[in-house]
Amino acid sequence: MRVLVTGGAGFIGSNFIQYWFKNHPEDTVINLDVLTYAGHLESLKDVEDNPHYNFVKGDVTDLTIVQNVMQGVDVVVHFAAESHVDRSILDPLIFVKTNVVGTANLLQKALEAKVKRFHHISTDEVYGSLSFSDPPFTENTEFAPRSPYAASKAGAEHMVMSYFITYNLPVTITNCADNYGPFHDPEKLIPRFVTNLLEGKKVPLMGNGENIREWLYVEDHCRAIEFVLNKGQVGEKYLISGSEKTNLDVTREILANLGQDESMIENVPHRLGHDLRYAIDDAKLRTLGWKPKVSFEEGLKKTIQWYKDNEWWWKPLKPGRPNVDSSAQKSYGK
């Protein structure tokens, strides 16, 4: 089978490519990635010499490149996206271009190439924010995006479903909780906090850490995508949940794992439009037989150990990672 992975040098994409080769060693994987600040070919050192692996540097907004890489492809797994909420506050138009226009380009060329499956990776953020007492999101929850990032991902989902309804392109969609694990860019919460502490720096916790997220170990996410490709119904979407925790709970667990106390917490202002809570009901996917294998506690320990063992990967990235949360606040006079 010939698999096109977009954004395969990013955090989840690189983990997915490594997972796919471990479980489907005879397949061919084409990795299309433009290599923005969030794309790291170093994350794919273990597969770069694999004769079944091909890397193509290119942008999903470039129709010619998309057409070229789509030839002979059986399955598309579409990760490529601008994905940092704070950056979407600073520069929303690039999110529209990459996440909406780029997805439309891929859909059109996938249709022309008659691919057997187009799988789109989305996020729980398209559904907006929950209060502490609201029931979790389901596949039937109405979209209510609250950031340019979330709105662009909602727009991308609409494009995907329109190609299924209008052209009968065989699509599936998954909306996942926040991922964590190896090769996670150090501007994101868990790797930023872990690497800050490894460098003897404090961790910037927004507000009092009351915001709630679900956390999904990245390998469990890769397994879920594989499961949907094999057992999911065309034209359907599936939510993938994780462990629901406040940001303060996550921070305390990181501190405890690294032998630190709460004196290492620096409270910072909330970003603009900071959603209070995300929560997912993934009964639809579990009914088909999928469930996560890695608990949050186990996954966090694995993740922390990985950052301890792989300074070569993350240390060069840290100087180029400004505190985008503070930048977003400052730009709007907050």
Active site residue 124: yes
Has residue 83 been placed in a domain? yes
**CATH number of the domain that residue 129 is part of:** 3.40.50.720
Average pLDDT of the residues of the chain: 92
Single-letter amino acid, residue 289: G
Average pLDDT score over residue span 10-16:
97
Q: Strand pairing of 28-33 and 53-57?
A: parallel
Single-letter amino acid, residue 150: A
pLDDT tens per residue across span 73-98: 999 999 999 876 667 667 789 899 99
Share of the chain above pLDDT 90, in %: 86
Contact in structure between 131 and 121 (CB atoms under 8 Å): no
Dihedral angle of Cα 152, 155, 159, 165, to the nearest 10 degrees? 150
Single-letter amino acid, residue 222: C
Q: What residues contact residue 278 under an 8 Å CB cut-off, 6+ apart? A: 124, 125, 127, 129, 130, 137, 177, 178, 212, 213, 214
Burial track 48-57 (b if 16+ CB lie within 10 A, e otherwise): eeeebbebee
Active site residue 125: yes
Total domains present in the chain: 1
Q: Is the pLDDT of residue 37 over 60?
A: yes
- Rounded to whole angstroms, the Cα distance separating 259 from 197 reads 10
pLDDT tens per residue across span 194-208: 999 999 999 999 999
Q: What residues contact residue 45 under an 8 Å CB cut-off, 6+ apart? A: none
Q: Give the pLDDT of residue 86.
A: 64
In this structure, what token pair is assigned to residue 145?
């995006």
Catalytic annotation, pick one of 33, 82, 86, 124: 124
Contact in structure between 158 and 116 (CB atoms under 8 Å): no
C-alpha dist (Å) from residue 310 to 15, 43, 191, 302: 15, 11, 12, 12
Single-letter amino acid, residue 209: G
pLDDT tens per residue across span 272-290: 768 889 999 999 999 999 9
Helix axes 11-23, 218-231, angle to 10 degrees: 60
Has residue 194 been placed in a domain? no
Single-letter amino acid, residue 199: E
Average pLDDT score over residue span 182-211:
95
Global pTM? 0.92
Helix axes 296-309, 189-198, angle to 10 degrees: 50
Has residue 320 been placed in a domain? no
Q: Where in the sequence is the domain holding 175, given as residue range(s)?
A: 2-179+215-240
- Rounded to whole angstroms, the Cα distance separating 295 from 298 reads 5
For the chain, strand residue ranges (E) read 2-6, 28-33, 53-57, 75-78, 117-123, 171-176, 178-180, 203-206, 212-217, 237-240, 243-246, 265-268
Contact in structure between 119 and 229 (CB atoms under 8 Å): yes
- Rounded to whole angstroms, the Cα distance separating 144 from 150 reads 9
DSSP-derived letter for residue 56 is E
Q: Is the pLDDT of residue 332 over 50?
A: no
Single-letter amino acid, residue 181: G
Has residue 185 been placed in a domain? no
Catalytic annotation, pick one of 125, 178, 185, 282: 125
DSSP-derived letter for residue 6 is E
Most confident of 83-92, 216-225, 265-274: 216-225
Catalytic annotation, pick one of 149, 163, 238, 278: 149
Of 292, 288, 191, residue with least CA distance to 241 = 292
- Rounded to whole angstroms, the Cα distance separating 233 from 209 reads 38
Has residue 114 been placed in a domain? yes
Active site residue 332: no
